[in-house]
Amino acid sequence: MTEQPPLDAELLRSWIGRTTSARDIVTPRLAEELRVTLDRDKPPFREGERCPLALHWCLAPPMVPQSRLGPDGHPARGDFLPPVPLPRRMWAAGRLEFFDCLRVGDTVERHSKIADVNVKQGRSGRLCFVAVDHEISTPRGLALKERHAIVYRDAPSANPAQQAAPAPGEPAREAQWSEVKAADPVMLFRYSALTFNGHRIHYDWRYVTEVENYPGLIVHGPLQATLLIEFAAAIRSADPRVFSFRALNPLFDGQEFTLNAAESNGALDLWITGPAGRTTMTGRAEW
């Protein structure tokens, strides 16, 4: 049995309050690359034009030399993010509040702060949740606020009988709108390149199957969230004011999945269903 690394909650919580800032420029190429990755076919972007929703996830990514990357392809931990020793890292949830759109040509500033760190025991073992608050501004002022929740997990058990079952999905309900999608390795590679995301679970099949013991490449959490918020905006023909989401189960490459939406007290409840109707992500858009 492999000895588990210690999880010092007090040390990890000492990272609460740490801050960092970054700057970037919204180029026509970046906006166009996201749009075509989402399979939208429109004329090229022009200076000053509104960008796709959630473009901010493609801006000012952490950039470190190769020698400072961890074994999973992420920057080594312990700089801005706390040094959580658990090997699996995933997006858990998020909430976006929009005040202005991003436009091609904007200079964008992002200010980030570690808001909370919590260690818990889950069905699959130890968990560490890290909450990060972001504020993103342009020369016109505050564009959006984001609460980003990251979850770190233990390595899976080598004994299949001891591995946790998939998380339960939301109660079944009827969708008023739905759209079938599929994510292949090329789409995952393009989104990883757009976001400068070196996490190997999204493009390295041997790593994700042999080291992290998943059955295939994992569709990015922010990519799923981007598809949901774009879906909601298309239904209402207007950008949401608030969008929240929560990841429930992994979605793998090559699997057909469905974007779903239903009215809910003036808002839209959103969810993604994968194989066998299993919910991989839920969301809510408000105007």
Residues 6+ apart with CB under 8 A from 175: 258, 260, 261, 262
For the stretch 230-252, what's the b/e string if a residue is b when 16 or more beta carbons lie within 10 angstroms of its beta carbon? bbbbebeeebbeebbbbbbebbb
Here the tokens at position 182 are 């599929």
Q: What are the strands of the beta sheet with 279-286, ordered from one edge?
A: 19-25, 107-122, 125-138, 141-153, 88-98, 242-247, 279-286, 267-273, 256-264, 177-182
Q: Name the CATH code of domain 12-286 (choices 1.20.1250.20, 2.60.40.2470, 3.40.50.20, 3.10.129.10).
A: 3.10.129.10
User: pLDDT tens-digit profile of 13-36?
Assistant: 999 999 999 999 999 999 999 999
Here the tokens at position 106 are 């904007």
Say what the pTM is.
0.91
Q: Of residues 172 and 130, which shows the higher confidence score?
A: 130
Q: CA-to-CA distance for 41 and 119, rounded, in angstroms?
A: 44
Q: How far is CA 148 from CA 14, 23, 143, 196, 218, in A?
A: 18, 18, 16, 18, 19
Domain boundaries in the chain? 12-286
Q: Of residues 165 and 33, which shows the higher confidence score?
A: 33
Average pLDDT across the chain, whole number: 91
Q: Contact at 8 Å (CB) between 35 and 26?
A: no
What pLDDT band is residue 2 in, cutting at 50, 70 and 90? low
Here the tokens at position 210 are 């042999």
Out of 13-27, 46-60, 112-126, least confident range: 112-126
Residue 172 has pLDDT above 50, yes or no: yes
Q: CA-to-CA distance for 245 and 238, rounded, in angstroms?
A: 18
- How many alpha carbons lie under 13 Å from residue 276 in its C-beta half-sphere? 6
Here the tokens at position 128 are 């560490």
